[in-house]
Every structure is written in C-alpha cells, then in structure tokens.
Structure 1
Amino acid sequence: MTKVFSDIIQFRGNHYDFGYMQGELLRNSPILPARKKQWDKQWRHFLFEKNEVQQAFSRFAPAIWEELHGLADALSMDMEDAIREFGGYYYEYGRSGCSIFSDSDYMVRNYDNEPISYEGRYLLYEPTDSGYAVIGPSMQITGRTDGMNEKGLVMGYNFINRKKSDDGFVCNMIGRIILENCANVDKAISLLKEIPHRHSFNYALLDQTGASIVVEASPRSVTFHKANICTNHFEQLTDENRYRMDDSIQRQQKMEKQQGNITDPYKAFRMLNDTDKGIFSKKYGAWAGTLHTAVYLPKEMKTWIALGGDRWPLILDFQKWLNGNKLSVKRIKGELDSTNSFINE
C-alpha cells in the first residue's frame, strides 16, 4: 500500500490573483516537473493557435483566461507555455474508468485513473470578479475532475473515447466552466451543447431540484437523458463508443443490481468505495484504478472525499465556508494498493 494525500487549498479573490497564488504554490512543487517528465519531448509538440484558444476563452470563460495570466506571471512563463500546461484546450487524456451513482439528494463518484496523473489538490475557490464559488479536486491545475458550486449544481465526467478528437476544451476545463457559470442542470446542458469538445465524455449532472441528467458529448454531437447511473459508454451516441465496453457495462450492471439496497448517501458511498462491491477498481497500471470517491449533497451543501478504498470519508461543510468560515483541515490522507503515488510527492 502507498500513502497518498491531497492538499486543501482555499482562496477568495479575483481570477488573476487566484492564478498567481497557485503559481507561487507550484514553484517549489514536484507537480510540474513530474508532468513534463511524463510527456517528455511530446510536450513541445502540443500545437495550437493562441488566438483560437483566446477566442474560445473569451466566449466561454474570460475570467479563467485571467487565471492563466496569473499562473504565467507567477511562474515566469510565456503565455504559450501556460496554455500548454494549464489551458485545458489541448491535452491528451489517458484512457480511464470512472463510475457515478446519483439520487435526488446526492451524487457519488469514483474517479479512476493512474496515480501519477493525479495532482493531489482539492480546491475551494470563491471568485470576487465573476462566476460561482466551486469546491472539488483539480486536474491540469485549472480544471476540475468533479465538483459542486454555490448554487448546488454537481458535475462529474466519465471518459468514453479519445479517437476522432477535434479542436476544443478537454473534460476537466469543461467541468470547471460548467461549475463556475451554470446555476442548474438546464443551464449546464445548454453550455455543453455550445462549447467545443476535444474528446467524447459523459457529463453527469445533479442540482438542488433533484434533477439527475447524463449528457453524452462528443466533438460531433451532444444529447442527454435522465439517468442515475453512469460509467464509460454512451447509451444514445453508440457510434462513439469504444470497441470494448465489457468493464464499463459490468460496473453499470453491478450498480443496477445493488441500488435497491441503497437507502442513503452513506450506503451509496460504501457501494462505490468498498473494494468487495465490484465498483471500486484496483487497475492502476491500466490507468483505471480508483483514486478518489467523492460524494456531493447539493441540498445540504456538503461534500465527502476519500482517497483509496475501504475508507471513511472526510466531510466538508461547503455552506459554512461560503458563509466566511475557513476550513481547519489542510490535507486529505489515504492509501492506494499501487506502487505509484500522486505527482505531488
């Protein structure tokens, strides 16, 4: 077993200052050197048109563009390199798993990937310039793997396919843009229909009305349907699915079989986090091991988070934080049945 941790980062202020603060934290962090080592020489071959990226941010997330400037300034990095590192518009996403189960009152989500892809950063950010406050784990620094905003909108995404990719935002940046800009499921669906998608993903959404929706999004098409279970295949855009979907279908069927016994969020958490229930994955070497199990309760405005399996969740009161109270906890600790740790060590 390997011990892992996520740092809890709290910030209130404008996006430029938020980016600058994160840049200061990253200066002496192993995260950026580790990621550059992973990509090696490929990193410099990530080609893009700066004006195209800037126009996309101007339309969908102008404040996050200012965050990129703050990161670049703090790290003495030119804007082109900042876009490569943090822009969320161009990034080759590794094949991964992920499972989501929701009810009208909560969403539980297993984020499955390779440990060396995980930054170990859990953020609470309340912008003072524009956008909603958001809580959730980061990916590619500026993006979010899942999360909840101050209006009670919850979002999590599941990988489908990276073939036939196109110019557009990647999953983690789309997730961040949804949470910062959408107050409910309907507004999130509208944004997902407009925003350009680089890869194919499911986006599971839940809001305080209890509406539970899965949006199937590819670079070519976007559709949605009501559902409370979501894994790694499309139900409607079936032409976009991978050739092999056995594992995804099995996890879906196991949740369907067990959901009759799920009467509260803790039992749902145990279904996804217990290693003997068939949903939690230890396939870390295949980029499909469960790194965290997250629970979001939009009506209570609380979140739970656990790193690794068979864990007790850490419970965070987002509403109290929104009321101005700073969280006293600074780190989330866990264990993985893997030889690799997160890239924050």
Structure 2
Amino acid sequence: MTKVHTDITQFRGSHYDFGYAQGLWLQDSAVLRNRQDSWRMRKPRFQSDEYDAKRAFMQFAPGIWDELTGMRDALSVPMTDVLRDFGHYRVNMKPSGCSILTGADFMVRNYDYHPLTYDGRYSFFQPSDQGYAIIGPSSRVTGRMDGMNEKGLVMGYNFMQRRKPGDGFVCHMIGRIILETCATVDDAIQLLKEIPHRGSFSYVVLDRNEETYVVEASPRAVEVRQSNACTNHFELLQHENRHHLDDSKRRIHVIDKEASQSIGAHDAFRLLNDKDKGVFSDLYKSWAGTIHTTAYFPKELKAWFALGGDQEPVVFDFADWLKGSDVAAESIHGELDTHLGIANRD
C-alpha cells in the first residue's frame, strides 16, 4: 500500500493571477519535476503551435489563456513549454478507466488512471474576471477531471479510445471549459458539439433539473443520449469503440444491477468506492486503477471526495465557500494498493 495525499487549493481572483500563483507553486513542486522528467524519457508525439492554441482558447475560454500566460510569466519559460505541459490542446492521452453513476440530485464518479499522472490537487477557484466558480480535482494543473460549478452543473468524463486523434482539446481541458462556461446541461451539450475534440470520450453532465445526459464525443462525431450510468464504451458511436470491452461492460452490468432500484447517494458512493462491490479497480499498472471517488450535489452545492477505496468521503460545502468561508483543511489522505510513483511526490 502507498500513502497518498491531495492538497486543497483555494483562489479568488483573475485568471492571470491564478495562473501566476500556480506557476510559483510549480517552481518547487514534484509535479513539475516529474512532468519534465517524463519528457526526457520520451519525445512528445504532438506539436504545440502557439498561434493555433491561442486562437482555440480565445474562441472557447479566453480566461484560461490568461491563466496560461500567468503560468508562463511565473515560470519564466517559453509559451510552447506551458502549452506542452498544461495547455491540453493537441496533446496525446493514455487509455484509462472510470465509472459514473447519477441520481436525480447527485453524481458519483470513480477516476481510474495511472498514479504518476495524478496532480494531487483539489481546487476551489472563483474567477473575478470571467467564467463560473468551480470545485473539483485538477488534472495537469489547469484541467479538471470532474467537478461542479456555481450554477450546479456537474461534469465527469470517461475514456473510450484513442485511435485517429483529431486537432483539438483533450478531455480534462474540455471538462474545465464546460464547468467554466456552461450553466446547464443544454449549454454543455451545445459546447461539446462545437468544440474540437482530440480524443474519444463520453462526457456525463447533470444540472439542477435532475436530468443526466451522456455526450458521446469523438473527433468525427458527437451524439447525445440520456442515461444514469457510464463506463468505457460508446452505446451510439459503437463503430468508435475499442475491441476489448469486457471490463467496461462488466462494470456497467454491476452498476445497472445495483442501481435498478432508486439508489441513494450514500449507497451509490459505497457501490463505487467499496473494493468488494466490483466497480473499484486496482489495475494501476494498466492505467485503470481507481485513484479517487467523488460525489456532487447540484441542488445543495456540496461535494464529497475520497482517495483510495473503502473510504468515508470528506464533505465540502461549496455554497458556503462561494460566500467567502474558506475550507479549513489543507489536505486529504488515503492509500492505494500499488507501489507505482505518485506525481506529487518525489
């Protein structure tokens, strides 16, 4: 077992100042050192064109471009380096797992991936210049792997496949842009139809109107369906699926069976987080081990978070935070059944 932790970060202010503050933190962080070391071992198989990236950000999320500019200034590095490590435009993604279950007023999600990619940062951000306030775990610092915004829109995404990538944003940046710019599921669906996609993912969105939509998105097509559960295969874009879907279909079968009777939020959390229920995964070497379980409540603006399995969640009151009450805790702790490295540790 490896002990892991997630730092809680809280920021109110402009995107540029947020980026600058993150850059200062990165200067002495294990996250940046591990990211740079990974490029010494392997050459990036993508190009970060500053002009194209800026044009895309200015169309869909100009505030995040300001954030990247602040990071550049704090780190004193070329913008191409910032885009390579934190821009999430035209970069390549490894395969991953993930499972999502929703009810009328909650979303529960397992984030399944490789520990060495994990930031270990849970972010509260309230922009003063543009965009909605967001709560949720960060991915590659600027992205969000799941989360909720001040309007009660909740988002999580699941990997589908990485064949034939397109010129566009990767999942964690698309997730961030959804939360920062969309107030409802209808807004999110429209954005996902317009934004360019690098890879193939399903984005699950829920708002205060109690309806969940699964948006199946690839570089070639976007389709929308209603469902309260999602793992790692498309139902509509089946021609885009991987060939090996046994584990994905096994997990969706477990979820559908247990959730067939109006399951509540606590039981849904236990279904995904308990190691003996059949959804939690220890496949860390295969880039598909469960690192955290989250839950979001759009009507109450509350969030739950747990690192590792068989955990009771830490509860955050996002509504109180939006009124100016800072969270007292500085970090969250847990354990993973792996000896692999963790990105936020030396």
TM-score band by shorter chain is over 0.9
CA contact (8 A) 2:49 2:80 kept: no
Structure 1 residues 95 and 23, CA gap change in structure 2 (3 angstroms) = same
1:6-17 map, 5 Å: 6-17=6-17
CA contact (8 A) 1:123 1:138 kept: yes
Q: CA separation in 2, counterparts of 1:90 and 1:37? A: 20
Alignment match, 1:59: 59
Alignment match, 1:201: 201
Q: CA separation in 2, counterparts of 1:215 and 1:233? A: 12
Amino acid at match of 1:80: T
What SS does the aligned partner of 2:243 have?
coil
Does residue 166 of structure 2 align to residue 179 of structure 1? no
Give 1:49 deviation, angstroms. Answer: 2.3
1:153-302 map, 5 Å: 153-261=153-261, 263-302=263-302
Give 1:91 deviation, angstroms. Answer: 2.3
Q: CA separation in 2, counterparts of 1:323 and 1:162? A: 41
Q: CA separation in 2, counterparts of 1:37 and 1:254? A: 39
* Unpaired stretches in structure 2, ≥5 consecutive residues: none
Q: CA separation in 1, counterparts of 2:191 and 2:301? A: 23
Structure 1 residues 247 and 129, CA gap change in structure 2 (3 angstroms) = same
Alignment match, 2:74: 74
1:102-141 map, 5 Å: 102-141=102-141
Q: What do you get for the CA RMSD once the two structures are aligned? A: 1.0
Q: CA separation in 2, counterparts of 1:233 and 1:129? A: 38
**TM-score with structure 2 setting the length:** 0.98
What SS does the aligned partner of 1:252 have?
helix
Alignment match, 1:39: 39
Amino acid at match of 2:337: D
Amino acid at match of 1:164: K
Alignment match, 1:305: 305
Question: Which contiguous aligned blocks of 4+ residues in structure 1 show a shift greater than 4 angstroms?
Answer: none
Deviations, residues 156-212 of structure 1 (Å, cap 9, x unaligned): 000001111011000000000000000000000000000000000000000011110
Give 1:52 deviation, angstroms. Answer: 1.0
Q: CA separation in 2, counterparts of 1:40 and 1:232? A: 31
Amino acid at match of 1:203: Y
**TM-score with structure 1 setting the length:** 0.98
CA contact (8 A) 1:16 1:69 kept: yes
Amino acid at match of 1:35: R
CA contact (8 A) 2:103 2:263 kept: no
Q: CA separation in 2, counterparts of 1:70 and 1:55? A: 17
CA contact (8 A) 2:48 2:83 kept: no
Alignment match, 1:332: 332
Q: CA separation in 2, counterparts of 1:306 and 1:340? A: 19
What SS does the aligned partner of 1:95 have?
coil
Identity %: 54
